[in-house]
Amino acid sequence: MQTLISKLQKVYDSDVLGFGEIFNEEEPKANESYMKNKKHIFTEIKTKINVHVQIKASNKTMKPIIIGK
């Protein structure tokens, strides 16, 4: 995920995840300053990804799956 966000920032300069909208809602004055200078906040923000996984069912099979036979 971090690699994808970094590539979107640096290569494509595209905020498809909507960080700019969230920043505008949280910090409208700061966002206005960026827009006056023709800068997009998305290309300059640092991101940190936290993933929380919850397994609801293991779908355990009756026989073990053997790979490579």
Of 48, 44, 46, nearest to 13 (Cα)? 44
CB neighbours of 52 closer than 8 A, spacing ≥ 6?
none
Q: Are 40 and 13 contacting, i.e. CB atoms less than 8 angstroms apart?
A: yes
Q: What is the pLDDT of residues 1-59, one digit of tens each?
A: 888 888 888 888 778 888 878 888 888 887 787 777 666 777 878 888 888 888 777 76
> Sign of dihedral through CA atoms 9, 12, 16, 21?
positive
pLDDT number for residue 61: 61
